[in-house]
């Protein structure tokens, strides 16, 4: 599968921006967020959290219309993958400056990128977690505190087990 660079990601979003009927907020998550932050050179797919249900519907309407040819995952409300984000996650995002007229692109905080990858914790996730910890100088205590604010549709046992692994092996 081809990877998507930061330039390709922004070019792709430019196509969306031209087609939108109104302003929307997109929060880049996962590898997409890491690519926009410069932690990774590219991402294997494009992932967004879209807090507003109306924005989510509008984004998916355009996605269906232009069929961009790249895998796009999007989650509405305060969900990413199987994780339920804490209520303050939008406040902790950073704006990614663009020339878009209708898309406000924000980037999930590195701490929240880490927490959203704990449950799955496959090898690429572990590498991403390690890179985010280094990039943002995340401390063990801050990670434990933030992780405690998460809930999930998946297994609490797996989350806690994986968090313990991260604390023991990455700090």
Task: Say yes or no: 104 and 43 in one domain.
Answer: yes
Which residues, 6 or more positions from 112, have their beta carbon under 8 angstroms from its beta carbon? 29, 85, 89, 92, 146
Task: Say yes or no: 99 and 147 in one domain.
Answer: no
Task: Say yes or no: 32 and 50 in one domain.
Answer: yes
Task: Give the integer Cα–Cα distance in Å for 161 and 118.
Answer: 9
- Residue range(s) defining the domain that contains residue 30: 4-109
Task: Say yes or no: 51 and 13 in one domain.
Answer: yes
Task: Say yes or no: 39 and 52 in one domain.
Answer: yes
**Partners of 25 in the β-ladder:** 104
Task: Say yes or no: 37 and 96 in one domain.
Answer: yes
Other beta carbons within 10 angstroms of residue 73's beta carbon come to 14
pLDDT tens over the chain, length 171 residues: 578 999 999 998 999 999 999 999 999 999 999 999 999 999 988 999 999 999 999 999 999 998 877 888 999 999 998 899 999 999 999 999 999 999 999 999 999 999 999 999 999 999 999 999 999 999 999 999 999 999 998 889 999 999 999 999 999
Count of domains for the chain: 2
- pLDDT value for 113: 98
Task: Say yes or no: 23 and 92 in one domain.
Answer: yes
Task: Say yes or no: 22 and 53 in one domain.
Answer: yes
Task: Say yes or no: 11 and 78 in one domain.
Answer: yes
Residue 125 contacts residue 144 (beta carbons within 8 Å): no
Task: Say yes or no: 50 and 70 in one domain.
Answer: yes
- pLDDT value for 138: 98
Task: Say yes or no: 92 and 121 in one domain.
Answer: no
User: pTM value?
Assistant: 0.94
Give the closest residue to 121 by CA, choosing from 85, 81, 84. Answer: 81
- pLDDT value for 50: 97
């Amino acid at each position: 599968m081809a990877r998507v660079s930061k330039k390709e990601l922004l070019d792709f979003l430019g196509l969306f921006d031209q087609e939108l009927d109104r302003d929307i907020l997109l929060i880049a998550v996962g590898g997409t967020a890491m690519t926009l932050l410069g932690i990774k050179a590219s991402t294997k797919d494009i992932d967004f959290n879209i807090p507003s249900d109306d924005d989510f519907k509008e984004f998916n309407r355009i996605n269906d219309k232009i069929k961009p040819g790249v895998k796009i995952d999007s989650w509405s409300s305060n969900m990413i993958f199987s994780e339920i984000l804490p209520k303050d996650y939008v406040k902790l995002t950073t704006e990614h400056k663009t020339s878009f007229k209708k898309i406000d692109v924000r980037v999930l905080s590195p701490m929240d990128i880490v927490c959203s990858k704990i449950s799955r914790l496959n090898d690429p996730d572990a590498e991403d977690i390690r890179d985010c910890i280094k990039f943002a100088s995340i401390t063990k205590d801050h990670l434990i505190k933030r992780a405690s604010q998460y809930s999930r549709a998946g297994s609490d046992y797996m989350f806690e087990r994986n968090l313990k692994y991260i604390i023991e092996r990455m700090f």
